[in-house]
Amino acid sequence: MSMHPPHTIAPSDLPQTITRYLRAHRDRDTATAVTAFTGDATVTDDGNTYQGATAIEQWLKRSATEFTFTIELTDAQQTDPTHYVVTHHLEGNFPGGSVDLRYRFSLRDDLIERLIIEP
């Protein structure tokens, strides 16, 4: 599999699975957000890795209640047919109060197989 340089796409061109996850995560709808992942998916966030539906659901529940923040999608890129990078600007009551985070998605069978969230 060859990796291509990322190219900017319109947020409306993101795969439906990513859009569903992002909307559910923003709305703190854990039940819907977890359905966007494969059963054996992994999420890496804040230096911790969560593997499998149960661990991801617990991470989603915690991240939905830990801090209050606003989230704005500022960029969407596609690297290849199954890899996407979405940049969000967050502002809230977390340490630092403001951050731009890159959400790196890897898809398998139209679901999120891997998500890495980092500045």
For residues 110 and 84, the answer to whether their CB atoms sit within 8 Å is: no
Predicted pLDDT at 4: 67
Cα torsion through 53, 28, 105, 110, rounded to 10: 70
In tens, the pLDDT along 79-92 reads 999 999 999 999 99
Q: Which residues contact 24 (CB under 8 A, 6 or more apart)?
A: 30, 31, 32, 33, 36
Which pTM value belongs to this model? 0.91
Q: Which fold has domain 7-118?
A: Nuclear Transport Factor 2; Chain: A, (3.10.450)
Q: 10 pLDDT exceeds 60?
A: yes
Q: Taking residues 59-82, what's their average pLDDT?
A: 91
Which pLDDT score is estimated for 3?
58
pLDDT tens digits, residue range 38-58?
999 999 998 999 999 999 999
Q: Which pLDDT value is given to residue 67?
A: 84
